[in-house]
Amino acid sequence: MLASQKTTSLLTSLIILLGSFNLLSHAESVLSRATQENALTTAYGEAQRVAQQTVPGTPRSSRPPVESSFSGVVVSIQDGDTIGVLREIAGDKQEVRIRLYGIDCPEKSQPFGNRAKEFTSDLSWAKNVTVHVKDVDRYGRLVAEVILPDGRSLNQELVREGYAWWYQHFAPKNKELDSLQKEARKSKKGLWSIPNPTPPWDFRASRQHKNY
C-alpha cells in the first residue's frame, strides 16, 4: 500500500513537471512571436515616419526629434547643400548622405549653383567634420548642421558668402541665418550680385510645372 502511494505521488509530480515544461515552452513561443511582431511593427513605423517627409531638408514638428551627433570625413559632394560623410556604424564604415539644415543652395542649372558646390567642396572635402542631426528626409538623408574643423558652421558659411538662401519656411526661428542672409544681400555677395535671383524652391516648382 505504501509503495503504491509513493508511485502515485511520483507520477503526480512527473505530470506537474511535464505540464510546467509545456507551459514554459508555450510561453517562450508566444514571447518569440511577440518579439518578431514588435520588430516588424517598429520597422514599419520607421519606414512610414521617413516616407511622410514631404520636402527634402524639412523637419516635421509632428514627429519625435532625431537629435544626435557624430564625426566623420567628407567623401563626396553632391551639390552645395548635400554631401556624403563616412561614418562608422557597428564597426563598419559607411557613407551617409547629409542634407544641410536650414539652407537651400541654387540648383546646378541656376546661377551660382556650381559655384555653391565648389565652395562646399573647398571648405569640407576630405575634412573631418561634426554632424549635428536634426531630422531625416523622405529620401533617407540626414538633415543636419555640419561643423567644420575650425568650428565654423558649413550651413552658415554658405549663407554668409551668398551661395545659399536661408530656408526660412523650414527654419523660421533661425535668427543667425536670417542675419547672415541680410548681410550677404546688403553686400551683394554671390547670388545677391545679380538682380532678382530666383529662390531654388520657386525654380524647382516652375520646372515641375513645365513637365506636366
Q: What is the pLDDT of residue 205?
A: 92
Task: Let me know if 90 is exposed, middle or buried by CB neighbors in 10 A (0-12, 13-18, 19+).
Answer: exposed
Identify the pLDDT of residue 67: 60
106 with 112: CB under 8 angstroms? yes
CB of 179 closer than 8 Å to CB of 125: no
pTM for the whole structure: 0.68
Position 207 scores a pLDDT of 80
Low-confidence ranges of the chain (pLDDT < 50): 1-8, 10-12, 14-64, 212
| Domain segments of the chain as ranges | 1-51, 68-200
Fold of 68-200: OB fold (Dihydrolipoamide Acetyltransferase, E2P) (2.40.50)
Q: Which residue numbers are catalytic?
A: 99, 107, 141
Alpha helix ranges (H) inside 52-132: 113-124
Q: What is the distance, to the nearest Å, from the Cα of residue 209 to the centroid of all Cα atoms in its chain?
A: 28
Q: What is the pLDDT of residue 209?
A: 56
